[in-house]
Structure 1
Amino acid sequence: MEDDGSVVTGNNDNCCQTVNAKWLCLEDIYQKFHRPNFYDIGCTYIADVPDHRFTYMTSQVGNIFLLQLFVSSPQEGSINVTVSNSNEMTFDKKTGTVYLDKSMKNFRVLRVGEREASTGFVTTYSFSDLDVECLKDKTLYIAITFKNSQSTEINSSTMDFSDLLNDPVGADFTIESLDGEKFSVHKLLLAGQSEVFKAMLKEETAESQNSYVKLVDIGKEDLQCILEFIYSGTVKDLESKNCYNLLMLADRFNLNGLKEITQHALCYQLTHDSALEILVLSDMYNANYLKREALKFIKKYNSILDSSFFDEIKNVDLVRELCRFLAA
């Protein structure tokens, strides 16, 4: 199979122009599957200015190896990325190169933040241990094309396994909510999306051995939202959900995508009565985008500080930060 376009690699001597990018090049992929970590792929460029940076994370769940792909960009709006949508591989014996099948799928990646680059999750590829053995001493190529969208519409696209949540064929784990609702789920999907669930589901844990856990402090509606995000990459009618709880749970389970879209939903809930509470919440759960928006809202409507809630804020550092922001 011939390389018919520019390749994104960590070597920037020959800059890959954004409009020409056709492949992501993952070198030494066998070793990186056996050393789970974050790895850099490289940037695309407009002229000589970095435009999009691609990274990936490797992990292992049982005998399944996961490769999660991420993209970041300094530009505002969402990013439309079209990448290989199959784990099937084609081998080029002459060059020692492996190509993922060129059946493609478009993913719209949420862009959060005003100035600095924000990393967004694109998709996950899964490989068997036999697949990974075949990658020894090989370079893996993933087909890619993309364009920018300046739209501020909020989307967080990922693999859509929502049908498996509604009809849990092959489920191998049960999660029970505070109020007794039981959900049949798949360990592989939970572990692939959340490091917290991944740790919970290690073979030696009681939860993994019993294939069951009860989350005694999470109600069924909030748990349904968490699982909906893990399986589909989004939460339908998010604005009608308890976004206060979801922000806390997204932080607790290290679900960055859920944390991002929940921050945006809470921005629309900023009012004279809620702004200080949302500010405290954003500081507590490291929701930096939401925190900036809350600070700007309070500065615009500074009569909010006459609220009795302001006197109840116990975090001295947060009060100082608020005062500095108002004085700037």
Structure 2
Amino acid sequence: MDISTSSDDNCEAVDSVPIEFYTDSISPLNKCQTSKARRICIFDLCSKLKNNDKYDIGGTYTDDEPDLWFFFTTTRCLGSKNLLNLFVHHRKSGHFAIGILKSVKIVSCTMEDANKFGRGMLLWKSFVSPCPDMSHHVTTYCLPEIKNQALCIPISIETNPSSVMSKMTKKRTELNKSLSLALNQNKPDFVLESASRTKYSTHKLILAGHSPVLRELVKNTHNNTAFIDISDQDMKLLLEFLGTGNIKDVGKLNLLQVLELAVKFKLDRLLYILQTEMEKQLNIENAIDFAVLSEKYQMEKIQKTIFVFIRKNPSVMDTEGWNNLKDVNLTKKLFKEVHRVK
């Protein structure tokens, strides 16, 4: 069956051939390795669509360590149509990316259909979990009347999606620039005032679209002007990131300053960029300082990297940073991690 990837995709759900023999299928029947996952398999579909409920699908693992767990909810609509809302539960913290069938409407999708999709034919979405055990909405499919029992949805997963994230970051940056260019052709509709009372003209759409903190600020401000207690330098960095999705030469800036900005306005993608930059700059002299930052802002992903680095470089404990370390909880964690049995 020829399957396109437009919103009018049609692919037929039939009782599958023995899916349990496919180790690259996410289902309750096998322990699928995350890097090898190629499809999500849902069984007993007809009976599950009769009720608005939540159902587990199955999980993925790296060796024996769990990574992701997939589940879905169903919503019965008028006209014999159903919505299948797909979610993923991230057992760890950090970034990951999922490539998924980008159809809005699915009539069906068999094992054979799902096998036809390569990585480049999928719609890629990135997710960030600041802490372990967070759930994310992946996508929603509209299902007309289904007569059969099994549905296979093509998928691909990147748990260390550097290449995917690089492409997506570039694409998102281009989109942000295009949006900024389009908005700049219109008059600004909002003003931010810094601590020095300097006024910066901007657009509500840019502020609300990237930061939940600024979204609430815009929502609760009635005169289209708001004060933010940050320096002019921080304001310029903030507006640069909101407008372009990035900060030029961020590695040359004071990472603590930018980090506090990211935390203050809940800019998850900027936090990811900063953690990546911290990994690049990590050395013996700054390892403890970076560890303190990771503890203060609960950045578990970079903290694990720092602990491994310190374990391999015990001379870190001869530095001024170690001698001045006063965080008792962090000290305990360091000793436990650095001296634990490998």
Q: Which range, TM-score by smaller chain?
A: 0.5 to 0.7
1:310 maps to 322
Provide closer, same or farther for how the CA distance between residues 226 and 41 of structure 1 changes in structure 2, counting only shifts above 3 A.
Answer: farther
SS in structure 1 opposite 2:183?
A: coil
1:148 maps to amino acid? I
Give yes or no for contact 2:190–2:202 (8 Å, CA) kept in 1: yes
> Could you tell me how far apart the structure 2 residues matched to 1:261 and 1:232 are?
13
Indicate the residue corresponding to 2:11 in structure 1.
4
CA shift, 1:277, in A, is 0.7
Q: Which residue of structure 2 aligns with residue 132 of structure 1? A: none
2:204 and 2:218 in contact (8 A); partners too: no
C-alpha distance in 1 between matches for 2:294 and 2:278: 10
Which whole-Å CA distance do the structure 2 matches of 1:229 and 1:261 have between them? 11
Q: Which residue of 2 aligns with 1:215?
A: 228
CA 1:223/1:162 → structure 2, altered by over 3 Å: closer, same or farther? farther
Q: Return the alpha-carbon distance in structure 1 between the equivalents of residues 314 and 204 of structure 2.
A: 48
- Does residue 257 (structure 1) correspond to residue 298 (structure 2)? The answer is no
C-alpha distance after superposition, 1:135-186 (max 9, x if no partner): xxxx957xx8542347652627486333233452554222344574724122
Q: Among 285, 304, 309, which residue is 1:292 paired with?
A: 304
Instruction: From 215, 226, 229, give the equivalent of 1:198.
Output: 215
Alpha-carbon distance in 1 for matches of 2:12, 2:335: 53
Helix, strand or coil at the partner of 1:286: coil
Separation (CA, whole Å) in 2 of partners of 1:248 and 1:185: 23
Residues 77, 148 of structure 1: 8 Å contact kept: no
Identity %: 21
Matches within 5 A, 1:107-126: 107-109=124-126
CA contact (8 A) 2:195 2:229 kept: yes
- TM-score for the superposition, normalised by structure 2: 0.56
Amino acid aligned to 1:277:
D
Whole-angstrom CA distance in 1 between matches of 2:253 and 2:55: 37
Which one has more relative contact order, counting CA pairs under 8 Å at least 6 apart? 2
Partner of 1:165: 180
SS in 2 for 1:213: strand
Residue deviations 1:282-317 (CA, integer Å, cap 9, x gap): 111111111111111122111111122223222111
- 2:156 aligned with 1:147, yes or no? yes
Contact 1:173 1:212 in 2 (8 A): yes
Retained in 2: the 8 A contact 1:5–1:21?
Answer: no
Name the structure where helix makes up a greater proportion of residues. 2
1:246 deviates by 2.5
Question: Are the counterparts in 2 of residues 282 and 291 from structure 1 also a CA contact under 8 Å?
Answer: yes
Q: Are the counterparts in 2 of residues 165 and 228 from structure 1 also a CA contact under 8 Å?
A: no
Instruction: Please list, as runs of the form range in 1=range in 2, the aligned pairs for 1:1-328 lying within 5 A after superposition.
Output: 4=11, 19=38, 43=57, 53=70, 78-81=96-99, 106-109=123-126, 146-149=155-158, 152-153=161-162, 155=165, 157=168, 160-169=175-184, 171-177=188-194, 180=198, 182-187=200-205, 189-202=206-219, 205=220, 208-220=221-233, 222-230=234-242, 233-235=245-247, 237-328=249-340
* Runs (5+) with no aligned partner, structure 2: 1-7, 15-26, 46-52, 61-65, 74-85, 108-120, 144-152
Relative to structure 1, the CA distance from residue 150 to residue 319 in structure 2 (aligned partners, 3 Å threshold; closer, same or farther) is closer
Partner of 2:48: none
Alpha carbons of structure 1 residues 251 and 117: separation in structure 2 relative to 1, 3 Å: same
Compare CA radii of gyration and give the structure with the larger one: 2
TM-score, normalised with respect to structure 1: 0.58
* Aligned partners of 1:165 and 1:184 also within 8 Å: no
Structure 1 residue 106: deviation in Å? 3.5
Q: Assess, with a 3 A threshold, how the Cα gap between structure 1 residues 177 and 300 changes in structure 2: closer, same or farther.
A: farther
Q: 1:163 to 1:54 in 2, by over 3 A?
A: farther
RMSD across aligned positions (CA): 4.9
**Structure 1: which 5+ residue stretches go unaligned?**
26-38, 57-68, 93-103, 126-138
